[in-house]
Copies of this chain bind each other. A is one copy, B any other.
Amino acid sequence: MNNLISKIPQTDKPRIVIVGGGFAGLKLAMKLSKSGFQIILLDKNNYHQFQPLFYQVATAGLEPSSISFPLRKIFQKHENIHFRVAELQSIDVSKKEIITNIGRLAYQYLVLALGADTNFYGMKDIETNAIPMKSTPEALFIRNTILMNYETAVNIDDRDEETALMNIVIVGGGPTGVELAGALAEMRKYVLPKDYPELDFTNMKIYLLEANSRLLKTMKERSSKRALKYLENLGVNVRLNASVKTFDGGTVSLTDGTLFRTRTLLWAAGIKANEIEGLQPELYGPGRRLLVNEYLQIESHPEIFVMGDMALLRSEDYPNGHPQVAQAAIQQARLIAKNLVRAGKGKQMLGFNYKDKGSLATIGRNMGVADLPGISLFGFTAWFVWIFVHLMAILGQKNKLLIFINWLWNYFTYDQSLRLILRQVQYKQNKTHE
């Protein structure tokens, strides 16, 4: 693709190209929409994804559409924002131009907010056989896979294979792994035995493996312990200090020699930032994050900003960078918006100061843990705060309402009802867009 991206108006406004419509990219575009810049936002999907609730899509509690919001709809009334479904292929830093699958685009400012993808730490067999959960389609894929495995288990007489189809192993004891394990344990308790009376659910094991000595290691020790207790009460087999070595699609082996039979390995053990062609290797830090200064600029290319999971800003309080969470991404977007406006007025930019507003995780009904500034909450209170915070954070009034109804319904009926194996139709046409 050597042409320019078409139908982008030429104006005398300075152009900011934002790549990625996650928490950071979306916030930045909205903050700057009336500030005299021309804003072009690119994302590989036509929707914004609310990542904290992927696990509820994976466990049949919420619809994909409740946590995915069409970007064009968000930008309808913002004529300075131009959106394209596009994938970044490389950056030509000398020409100040990006190359995408739909054409080239020049920028005055470039903001990289592509987020992170699953990190399999180079283990090819796990990449092939395990299932990650870093996108709405991947979450749906988990739902489909688990349900299909149960439909298969009903049809076989081989007891060992039946167990492998029923067992679920989750790797990674961060919030994603903990929340997935809790939700699956509740499905085992309230839903699956009623759906599959043919199967013996004393057979079904849910393992949660964490390489560290505790779960939720970014939270307070007491919260970690409480989460562990909740999970064990729900019957999850939590293994701490457990590292996965191999997975062939049927058996997981740990470095200590333990073996688990399972067809379903859910991988929530780590992320790495998305790679970008055209940036020198020395610009990257650990986890493939891009090293930035306190203004979140790449030092050698100050017209390029980085935010969210991709940015690595080393500071005294955070020598390894800020946590790769929504809060950090949103605060960074706010600062970059402010700084670009300041820069336009010839003012000095402000440095980034991360304000940790706390962490939350929910394990099951009435069971959550929350480390808020100055206070830790557990059980029902933490669970309730979690619900409130997530309902407030989700985009769109209709989504808030529909999610709330779904949660209320599931709460009172003990039932996650979206147990559909929805397979997609394959493209059979030679469409121009494929």
Contact = CB atoms under 8 A, between A and B. Distances in A.
A43 to B, nearest CB: 11
Contacts of A3: 157
B147 A46 contact: yes
Interface string A1-35: 00101110000000000000000000000000000
A433 B149 contact: yes
B151 A73 contact: no
A417 B195 contact: no
Given A46-B147, A79-B197, A249-B429, A421 B85 contact: yes
Nearest to A46: B421
Contact of A68 (B70, B129, B198, B422): B422
Contacts of A59: none
Contacts of A82: 198
A214 interface: no
A8 B431 CA distance: 45
Residue with the highest number of chain B CB atoms closer than 10 Å, among A152, A196, A429 = A429
Contact of A196 (B68, B72, B135, B137): B72
Interface of A: 3, 5-7, 45-47, 63-65, 68, 70, 72-73, 76, 79, 82, 84-85, 102-103, 128-129, 135-138, 140-141, 145, 147-149, 151-152, 154-157, 161, 165, 194-198, 249, 263, 396, 398, 401-402, 405-406, 409, 415, 417-425, 428-433
